């Protein structure tokens, strides 16, 4: 049996420096929707419609248990998001990582990101986390935080009609 240590709400709210629990507001959700619609390599062409983006945001931020167990974090002063999605305690979760706070990542941000990932593993008894992205900047940040590249799907991501490789990363 896996040892799951559910954290207190206080610990969840601000578990490490640079990361705090994401509390959706209309302004933040509008900002996120705009990012997913328009930001380079954030969302593939087939999923980049207002209806699909808002449906996904409702799924991840509604708090409705029928949509799964998710834990979204805001990076610094909303410079990005790190979301643990579809958490299955004792096994795995998916991670979404988006960062619009610049091209360089501070050592403190990377250290805190790695620490947050380790805490999630400890809290929920995870043995695996997965992420994927076509954005090489996010691949770099994910690797710095402890993910390893496990492969890539060539020409699997389409953005504005152009094809990109999708990198598959895992954290164990």
The per-residue pLDDT for range 17-70, each reduced to its tens digit, is 999 999 999 999 999 999 999 999 999 999 999 999 999 999 898 877 777 799
Q: Which residue has the higher pLDDT, 1 or 148?
A: 148
The per-residue pLDDT for range 100-115, each reduced to its tens digit, is 998 889 999 999 999 9
Say if 139 falls within a structural domain: no
**Count of other CB atoms within 10 angstroms of residue 136:** 12
Per-residue confidence (pLDDT) for residue 70, from 0 to 100: 93
The per-residue pLDDT for range 140-159, each reduced to its tens digit, is 999 999 999 999 999 999 99
Per-residue confidence (pLDDT) for residue 129, from 0 to 100: 98
Say if 70 falls within a structural domain: yes
Say if 29 falls within a structural domain: yes
Q: Which of 20, 19, 49 is nearest to 36 (CA)?
A: 49
Return the residue matching tokens 């709210």. Answer: 13
Quick one: average pLDDT of 71-100? 95
CB 109 within 8 A of CB 16: no
Say if 55 falls within a structural domain: yes
The per-residue pLDDT for range 119-146, each reduced to its tens digit, is 999 999 999 999 999 999 999 999 999 9
Say if 158 falls within a structural domain: no
Say if 42 falls within a structural domain: yes
What's the number of domains the chain is made of?
1
CB 133 within 8 A of CB 168: no
Residue 27 domain boundaries? 9-131
For residues 157 and 85, what is the distance between their CA atoms, to the nearest angstrom? 20
Say if 83 falls within a structural domain: yes
Say if 153 falls within a structural domain: no
pTM: 0.93
Per-residue confidence (pLDDT) for residue 4, from 0 to 100: 78
CATH, residue 30: 3.40.630
């Amino acid at each position: 049996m896996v040892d799951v240590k559910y954290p207190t709400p206080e610990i969840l709210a601000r578990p490490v420096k640079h990361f705090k629990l994401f509390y959706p507001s209309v302004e933040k959700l509008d900002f996120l929707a705009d990012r997913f619609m328009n930001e380079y390599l954030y969302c593939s062409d087939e999923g980049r419609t207002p209806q699909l983006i808002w449906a996904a945001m409702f799924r991840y931020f509604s708090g409705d248990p029928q949509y799964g167990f998710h834990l979204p974090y805001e990076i610094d002063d909303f410079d990005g998001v790190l979301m643990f999605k579809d958490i299955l305690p004792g096994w795995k979760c998916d991670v979404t990582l988006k960062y619009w706070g610049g091209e360089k990542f501070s050592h403190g941000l990377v250290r805190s990101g790695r620490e947050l990932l380790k805490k999630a593993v400890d809290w929920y008894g995870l043995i695996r986390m997965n992420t994927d992205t076509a954005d090489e900047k996010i691949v770099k940040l994910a690797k710095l935080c402890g993910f390893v590249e496990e492969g890539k799907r060539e020409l699997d991501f389409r953005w504005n009609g152009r094809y990109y490789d999708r990198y598959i990363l895992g954290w164990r």
